Amino acid sequence: MKRIIALGDMHCGNFGGLSTPEMILGLRDRKPATYDMQMEMYTKYSEMVKKLTKVPRNCEIIVVGNGDLVDGKKNTQELITADMNEQVTMAADLLKMWEADRYFLTYGTPFHTGKEDDWEVGIAKQLGCPIYNRLFLQADKVNFCFRHKVGRGNVPQSKHTAAARAAMWNVLNAARGTEPNAHVLCFSHVHYHSGSFQPGWLAMTLPALQTTSSFGAKECDGSVDWGLVWFDVEGDRILNWQAEIQPIDGARTKPIKI
């Protein structure tokens, strides 16, 4: 059996991204509310790691980091650290917590991960794993496709449309013989979990491991889902899959009382 942990959009370095305790500690005095939220996220992430790594001895754990694992240094007003080496190390350390048998990464968006030098290559080096623009994995007889970027749904009832469109392109390209026929397609980037299925395939957007950001607050409608998705695969079957979506209390918007 193989357990595939699919996660993305950690945005390490951002106030709303996932961080290690060493980096969070510096926020205790200067940003106590952010400190509390960061500790809440790290605690819930640690609990997911503990829960999902309790597997039978013959089960192989595979972790896929699906892009935007670091936040970059453009959003200087909302960074815990603009040092890209620190962001890279944070992301690698958080992924190492899984003690996975194998790791795979996909590239995120250049705005966050770098245009001249892609900093996610440094994460791959620390993990000793490959990194891809688009990743096709064959887990026993089940084919997975992972890519970071996908379109966003502008209304609630069509949040799944972009993932479904990408799945149909895969069906057409597989028929032409230019890429494998994927049974499961996972995308990130949009920070919400939604999906679509047809006989033969399941397509979804993964939840994020970042909560709030000034960009989202200023410019975006919609909701953020915080968490990850996992799949148990054996032979030609997906035995089980689940989205682990957690509420982050520290990210709730509260009214100002007057």
CATH code at 215? 3.60.21.10
Confidence of residue 59 (pLDDT cuts 50, 70, 90): very high
- State the average pLDDT over residues 104-110: 95
Amino acid residing at 153 = G
In terms of residue numbers, what domain contains 99? 2-251
pLDDT at 101 over 80: yes
Which residues lie below 8 Å from residue 178, measured CB to CB, with a gap of 6+? none
Residue 117 lies in a domain: yes
Position 254 confidence tier, pLDDT thresholds 50, 70, 90: confident
Q: What is the number of other CB atoms lying within 10 angstroms of the CB of residue 2?
A: 19
Identify the pLDDT of residue 246. 94
Domain assignment present for residue 232? The answer is yes
Whether 258 is covered by a domain: the verdict is: no
Q: CB-based burial of residue 6 (10 Å sphere; 0-12 exposed, 13-18 middle, 19+ buried)?
A: buried
Residue 186 lies in a domain: yes
DSSP-assigned letter for residue 73? S
Residue 257 counted as domain residue: no
What's the pLDDT tens digit per position in 62-88?
999 999 999 998 878 889 999 999 999
CA atoms within 13 A on the CB side of 95: 35
Q: Residue 32 has what pLDDT?
A: 93
Contact 66, 4 (CB under 8 A): no
94 within a domain of the structure (yes/no): yes
Domain-embedded: residue 207 = yes
Query: Is pLDDT of 95 > 60?
Result: yes
Rounded mean pLDDT, 172-178: 97
For residue 236, name the pLDDT band (cuts at 50, 70, 90): very high
As a whole-number percent, the residues of the chain with pLDDT over 90 amount to 78
DSSP bridge partners of 14: 79
pLDDT at 251: 87
How many domains does the chain fold into?
1
Instruction: Give the pLDDT confidence score for residue 219 in this predicted structure.
Output: 57
Residue 256 lies in a domain: no
Look up residue 83 and give its two tokens: 């040092």
How high is the pLDDT of residue 176? 97
